[in-house]
Amino acid sequence: MRKNLSDVPATPVIQVIERMFSLIDVLASREEAISLKEISEKTGLHPSTTHRILNDLAVGRFVDRPEAGSYRLGMRLLELGNLVKGRLNVRDAALGPMRELHKLTQQPVNLSMRQGDEIVYIERAYSERSGMQVVRAIGGRAALHLTSTGKLFLAADDPQRVRSYATRTGLAGHTRNSITQLPALERELSKARQYGIARDNEELELGVRCMAAGIYDDQGKLVAGLSISAPADRLDEGWLPKLQATANEISGALGFKDGMAATPASGANVTTGA
């Protein structure tokens, strides 16, 4: 029978594996190679035990020996890390947290990514109980300046890129609330940068408002946006902390760490895994 996650022990049950983890943690704490003596002292392991485990790790290329008596992390860890990173899929990381957020709000929760001058909807958590018709199906697209997630991506661009976007698209509107003038858009993007969230105030569809928070990868790059859509008179500001916490949870699953500086998002096409 498959074990539940709660059945998995918090610490290794095999002593040598626990010691191996301790040695790797010590090596990871320093950029330069560390002597056998120092590693032994930091882990509390006997030098002979430390030497034996490190040598076995070196055979597997998990540890390198740049010179006799010193050790550092090996290239095999980088190779495995790149494999894990390559297999991470934003949709896979987001789906569970999105469903939980939907249970809380009972409103559609959307996952979107940027492709050129548009966002594309790649996943949605939704049920009939929301009482709101889905206005954009998975695979649907919308101009950046008309959507909450799209504004997050524009806010991550430098001012020249935003001006270029405005020139290319003409800032065409969909509703009477759409932002169609560059100064107004720049003011909106300034708010998004300041607060880390963006909003759609019936700018794409009349009667529908949205709020969005960004999802970042292990390099601090904005790769997606998580948004809640609701009827205009039912969007609850009390959902905002949970929205941000859920976006942070997904970012963490992609390798983003608190305090990591965000990097500018690219306007190039992205792989959605669709």
Stated length of the chain = 274
| pLDDT at 140 > cutoff 80 | yes
Beta-bridge mates of residue 222? 216
pLDDT of residue 266: 41
More confident residue, 259 or 217: 217
Q: How confident is the model at residue 88 (pLDDT cuts 50, 70, 90)?
A: low
pLDDT of residue 272: 33
pLDDT of residue 240: 95
Rounded Cα gap, residues 124 and 140, in angstroms: 11
Full-model pTM:
0.69
Q: How confident is the model at residue 1 (pLDDT cuts 50, 70, 90)?
A: very low
| pLDDT at 259 > cutoff 90 | no
pLDDT of residue 251: 95
Question: Is 271 within 8 Å of 229 (Cβ atoms)?
Answer: no
More confident residue, 30 or 97: 97
CB atoms within 10 A of CB 243: 20
Please name the amino acid found at residue 11.
T
Give the full edge-to-edge strand order of the sheet including 118-125: 141-143, 118-125, 109-115, 222-231, 208-216, 197-201
More confident residue, 257 or 129: 257
In the chain, % helix, strand, coil (3-state, to 5) comes to 45, 20, 35
Stretch 108-126: mean pLDDT, rounded?
92
Q: What is the DSSP string of 137-200?
A: -TT-EEEGGGSHHHHHHHHHS-HHHHHHHHHHHTT--SSTT---SHHHHHHHHHHHHHHSEEEE
pLDDT over 70 for what percent of the chain? 84
Per-residue pLDDT tens over the stretch 33-84: 999 999 999 999 999 999 999 999 999 999 999 988 899 999 888 888 776 6
Per-residue pLDDT tens over the stretch 205-242: 999 999 999 999 988 999 999 999 999 999 999 999 99
Q: Across the chain, what does the average pLDDT equal? A: 86
